[in-house]
Structure 1
Amino acid sequence: MKKGQLGFLTGTHAVNDLYQGVIPAMLPFLMTERHYSYAAVSGLAFAASGVSSLFQPLFGILSDSKPRGWLVPVGSVTAALGVVAAGLSDSYLLTWIFVALAGIGIAAYHPPATSQARAAGGSSQKAMSVFSVGGTVGGAVAPSLTTVVIGSLGFDAGYLLAVPALVMLVLWVLKGPWMRWRGHEEAAPLMSGPAGKAAGDGAGPTDDWRAFGRLVVVIIGWSIPYVTVTSLLSLHAQRDLGQSEAAGAVALTSYTAAGAVGTLLGGWIGDRHGRMTSVRAGYLVALPALAGIVWAPWFPVLVVCAALFGAAMFLPFAAQVTLAQDYLPNRPGTASGLTLGMAMAAGGLCSPAFGWLADNSGLPSAFYALLVVFVVPVGLALRLRDRVLPVAGLRSTPTAETADSGAP
Structure 2
Amino acid sequence: MSTTTVKQSNPVYPIMVSIGVCHLINDTMQAVIPAMFPLLERDLGLTFTQLGMISFVLNMFASLLQPAVGFMTDKKPFPYALPLGMVSSFIGLTMLILAGEYWMILVSVLFLGLGSAIFHPEGSRVSFMAAGNKRGLAQSIYQVGGNSGQALAPLLSAFIILPFGMYGVSVILIFTSIGIFLLTKISMWYKRQLEAEKRSKIKKMLVSSLPPLTKKQVGMALLVLLFIIFARSFYVTNITSFYVFYLSEQYGMSVERSQLFIFIFMAVGVVGTFFGGPLSDRFGRKNVILLSVIAPIPFCLALPFVPLPAVLVLLIIIGLLIMVSFTVTVVYAQELVPSKIGTMAGLTVGVAFGMGAIGSIVIGMLIDKMGIHFTMNAVSVLTLLLLVAFLLPRDRVGD
Q: TM-score, normalising length from structure 2?
A: 0.83
Residue of structure 1 equivalent to 2:237: 227
One-letter amino acid of the structure 2 residue matched with residue 365 of structure 1: F
Residue of structure 2 equivalent to 1:182: 191
User: Does structure 1 residue 365 correspond to structure 2 residue 382?
Assistant: no
299, 313, 316: which is aligned to 2:322? Answer: 313
Is the 1:279–1:381 Cα contact (8 Å) retained in structure 2?
A: yes
- Partner SS for 1:180: helix
Quickly say closer, same or farther: Cα 1:169–1:294, change in 2 above 3 A. same
C-alpha distance in 2 between matches for 1:26 and 1:237: 21
User: Does structure 1 residue 213 correspond to structure 2 residue 217?
Assistant: no
Quickly say closer, same or farther: Cα 1:179–1:5, change in 2 above 3 A. farther
User: Normalized per residue, which structure has more helix?
Assistant: 2
Residue of structure 2 equivalent to 1:334: 343
Residue of structure 1 equivalent to 2:287: 277
C-alpha distance in 1 between matches for 2:272 and 2:47: 33
Residue of structure 2 equivalent to 1:146: 157
Deviation at 1:236, TM superposition (A): 4.0
Deviations 1:15-34, CA, capped at 9 Å, x for gaps: 11212333333334444555
46, 52, 60: which is aligned to 1:42? Answer: 52
Residue of structure 1 equivalent to 2:29: 19
C-alpha distance in 1 between matches for 2:191 and 2:397: 35
Quickly say closer, same or farther: Cα 1:356–1:318, change in 2 above 3 A. same
Residue of structure 2 equivalent to 1:375: 384
Quickly say closer, same or farther: Cα 1:307–1:47, change in 2 above 3 A. farther
Deviation at 1:355, TM superposition (A): 0.8
One-letter amino acid of the structure 2 residue matched with residue 382 of structure 1: F
Q: Where do 5+ consecutive residues of structure 2 fail to align?
A: 1-10, 206-211
Deviation at 1:268, TM superposition (A): 3.1
Once the two structures are superposed, the pairs formed by residues 52-71 of structure 1 within 5 Å of their partners are 52-71=62-81
C-alpha distance in 2 between matches for 1:273 and 1:77: 39
Q: What is the total number of aligned residue pairs between the two structures?
A: 378
Residue of structure 1 equivalent to 2:357: 348
Is the 2:285–2:398 Cα contact (8 Å) retained in structure 1?
A: no
One-letter amino acid of the structure 2 residue matched with residue 3 of structure 1: Y
Once superposed, what is the RMSD of the aligned Cα atoms? 3.2
Pick which of 217-226 and 28-37 moved more. Answer: 28-37
Deviations 1:195-229, CA, capped at 9 Å, x for gaps: 579xxxxxx99863332232122212222222333
One-letter amino acid of the structure 2 residue matched with residue 318 of structure 1: T
C-alpha distance in 2 between matches for 1:236 and 1:38: 17
One-letter amino acid of the structure 2 residue matched with residue 308 of structure 1: I
C-alpha distance in 2 between matches for 1:308 and 1:31: 33
Residue of structure 2 equivalent to 1:384: 392
C-alpha distance in 1 between matches for 2:244 and 2:43: 16
Q: Where do 5+ consecutive residues of structure 1 fail to align?
A: 198-203, 388-402
Deviations 1:113-170, CA, capped at 9 Å, x for gaps: 1011012113421222122111122222332133222121123542222221111112
User: Does structure 1 residue 167 correspond to structure 2 residue 175?
Assistant: no
Is the 2:44–2:100 Cα contact (8 Å) retained in structure 1?
A: no
Quickly say closer, same or farther: Cα 1:96–1:129, change in 2 above 3 A. same
Deviations 1:46-72, CA, capped at 9 Å, x for gaps: 223222111111111122122223232
Quickly say closer, same or farther: Cα 1:305–1:8, change in 2 above 3 A. same
One-letter amino acid of the structure 1 residue matched with residue 348 of structure 2: T
C-alpha distance in 1 between matches for 2:195 and 2:270: 26
Is the 1:149–1:160 Cα contact (8 Å) retained in structure 2?
A: no
User: Does structure 1 residue 128 correspond to structure 2 residue 139?
Assistant: yes
Deviations 1:325-360, CA, capped at 9 Å, x for gaps: 011111111111111113531331232121112223
C-alpha distance in 2 between matches for 1:159 and 1:360: 38
Is the 1:55–1:107 Cα contact (8 Å) retained in structure 2?
A: yes
One-letter amino acid of the structure 1 residue matched with residue 143 of structure 2: S
Quickly say closer, same or farther: Cα 1:359–1:87, change in 2 above 3 A. farther
Is the 2:36–2:157 Cα contact (8 Å) retained in structure 1?
A: yes
One-letter amino acid of the structure 1 residue matched with residue 327 of structure 2: A
C-alpha distance in 1 between matches for 2:252 and 2:109: 28
Residue of structure 2 equivalent to 1:94: 104
- Partner SS for 2:152: helix
